Structure 1
C-alpha cells in the first residue's frame, strides 16, 4: 500500500485531474507520486516550499469562502426581528407595526412564519426618519457626535500577539454600528485578520496601493487620499481600510527616510493623524487594529489615537509581557515628545480578554 504522505499527493493530483486514484497497487499511481515527491524535494528550497504552501492555503481559503457564502462569496448580515429593532432604536414595536401597515418608512421583509424583519440599513433609515420628525430627541434615535466633539480614534494595542486585539476591534465596531454610530475600521496589521473578518481576503481582494500604506507613503506620486482607499463592508455603518503584507512597506521605508532625511511631507508619526483629518466629518469613531509590535505603524496609531484600549489575557506571562510593552511604549513616547509630538488622549483602559 502507498504511504500516507504519498496517498495524499496522489489524491491531490487525481482530484485536480478529475480522476480516481488507485492506492492498492505498488506501481502506477504510487510510482507517479514517488517521482513527483522526489522532484519537489530536490528542486525546492525552504523559501520555495513556504511560498508554495502559502499559495495552496490561500487557494483553499478562497474555495472555502466560495462554499460558505454563496452565491457571490460575500459575507452578509442577518435581518432583525421587530422586537430586536425596537431595542436597538428605542422605537416601540407597536409603532414599527403601524408604520409597516401604513406603508411609511422602509418596507420590512417577511420570514417564512410571516414575522417582519429589517436589515441594518433599514434600521438606520428608521433612525433618520424619527430623528428628522423629532429634532429635540434626534440624538436618542440617531447617535452622532455633538457639536464641538472631536472624532474618537480608538487604538487597540498590545506588544503580545494573541491577546484578542482584532477580536476586540471587530466586536467594538459591530456594537457601535448597531447603536447607529458611523465607524471606520482601519487594519494596520500586515496579517490582515481584521480585513478577513470583514470579508476582505487580503491575497485576493486587496490590490496594490489599496491599504493604509497608500495614504502614508513618502512617494508623492504614488500617495493616495485616504478617502480613495476606504471601502464599504457587509455591515451597514462600518467602513474599512483593509490591510495586507503591503503595510509592512511602511516599516521598511521609514528607517531609510529617517536615515537619509529624505521624503516629503510630515514626519512618520504625524502622517496617519493627518490622513484621518481628511475624513474627520464622515465618522463618529475610528478603530485602529495595531500589529503586535512597537514599530512605526503602532507609534503612528498611538499618536493619532484619542484613546487607547490595551488588551491582556489574565495569565502571568501575558501580564509580564504587557509590563514590558508599557515600559517600551513609555520610552518611545518620550522620544516622540522630544521630536515635538504631543499625545493628548481622553482615556487609556485595560481590557481583560
Structure 2
C-alpha cells in the first residue's frame, strides 16, 4: 500500500458539506506543510469546480485513469489552494457502468493511488460520490481511514448505518485495514438543542468518534466555490475555516500517534 495517508470522505446522503470538507481539510493540511492530493470521484465534479477548474475544459480526468488505465500523473492538476487535484468530469457517470463488469473493479482507485506514490504525497483525500456504488466501494478499498461528514440539522442516522454496513463489507472482502476515523459534524448551529442532540445520539448509536470541533454553519461556505477557492483562502479568519484547521490538525496528530 502507499506510504501516503489515504482518507475517504464519504456519505451517500447529499447536502452534508462533503465536498466542502474535502476542499477545506485539504487546504488546511497543505497550510500545515503537508503535500496533499484531492481526488474527485463524484461525477457532478463539484470539487473540481470549487477549486477553480471548469470540468468542461478538461480533456483528461479521473475517468480515464479508472477505466482506460491512463497514468494518473498525466491528469493531476496543481491548484492555487496549494493542493494537487485529480479532477472529475461528467464522463465519470459512465465509469460506474464501465466498471461493473470489470474484474478487480474494487481496486481501481487503490491502483491509481499506488501509481502516484513517487510523487510523495503525505495525504490523499478521496471525495466519494453520494451513493454506495462501485466508486465509493473502490475509494473505501483504497483508503486507510474514512471520515463521515454529517449534517447536524436533521437526524440522518439511517444513512450512516447503511454506510457503516458498506464499510463492514469492504473490511471483510477488499480492505481489512480500513478504519472509521469518525463523524465530522457539519452545518452545526450550537444554539439549537436539536443540533446538540443529533451529535450525542450519533456518538451513542454507532459508537463512533465525533471529530472536534463541529463545523459551524456559514454563508461563506456557499460563496467559496464560486470564487474557485476553499474557504481557507476566501475567508481566512472565518470560524468555519478555523474549525477545519483544527480538525486537520487533529487528523494529522492521529497519524503521528498523538
Q: TM-score range by the shorter chain?
A: 0.5 to 0.7
Match for residue 216 of structure 1 among 53, 61, 66:
66
Structure 1 residue runs of 5 or longer lacking an equivalent are 1-148, 259-265
Q: Equivalent residue for 1:275?
A: 112
Using CA pairs below 8 Å that are at least 6 residues apart, which structure has the higher relative contact order? 2
Question: Per the alignment, in what secondary structure is the counterpart of residue 317 of structure 1?
Answer: coil
For the 8 Å contact 2:42–2:129, the answer to whether it is kept is yes
1:351 to 169, 178, 184: 184
2:142–2:175 CA contact under 8 A, matched in 1: no
Residue 51 of structure 2 aligns with which residue?
198
CA separation of 1:313/1:181 partners in 2, compared to 1, >3 Å: closer, same or farther? same
> Aligned to 2:30, which of 177, 189, 192?
177
| Native 8 Å contact 2:140 2:167 kept in 1 | no
Structure 1 position 249 matched with structure 2 position 94? yes
Cα distance in 2 for residues equivalent to 1:317 and 1:346: 23
Distance 1:317 1:164 in 2: 15
With over 3 angstroms needed to count, the CA separation of the structure-2 counterparts of 1:346 and 1:319, relative to structure 1, is: closer
TM-fit CA distance, 1:328 = 4.5
Q: Does 1:153 align with 2:6?
A: yes
Tell me the SS of whatever aligns to 2:9: strand
Is the Cα contact below 8 Å between 2:150 and 2:184 reproduced in 1?
yes
Shift of 1:347: 4.7
> Contact 2:137–2:166 at 8 Å: present in 1 too?
no
Q: 2:146 aligns with which of 282, 288, 308?
A: 308
What is the Cα deviation at residue 248 of structure 1?
A: 1.4
What do residues 240-273 of structure 1 show as CA deviations (whole Å, max 9, x unaligned)? 1111111112101122x25xxxxxxx60011211
Structure 1 residues 291 and 182, CA, compared in 2 at 3 Å: closer, same or farther? same
2:175 counterpart residue number: 342
Q: Displacement, 1:156? A: 0.3
Number of corresponding residues? 185
For residues 63 and 178 of structure 2, what CA distance do their matches in structure 1 show?
Answer: 24
TM-score by length of 2: 0.66
Kindly indicate whether residue 78 of structure 2 is the aligned counterpart of residue 239 of structure 1.
Answer: no
- 1:69 corresponds to which residue? none
**Distance (Å, rounded) in 2 between the aligned partners of 1:225 and 1:162:** 32
Shift of 1:345: 2.8
Distance 1:345 1:325, change over 3 A: closer
The 2-side partners of 1:212 and 1:161 are apart by 21
Query: How far apart, CA to CA, are the structure 2 residues paired with 1:239 and 1:333?
Result: 27
Alpha-carbon distance in structure 1 between the residues aligned to 2:22 and 2:175: 25
Cα shift at 1:329 = 4.3
Please, what TM-score do these two structures have when normalized by structure 1?
0.49
Aligned to 1:325: 163
Gaps of 5+ in 2: 187-258
Q: Radius of gyration: which is bigger?
A: 1
The residue number in structure 1 matching 2:214 is none
Partner of 1:142: none
Give the Å deviation of 1:213. Answer: 1.6
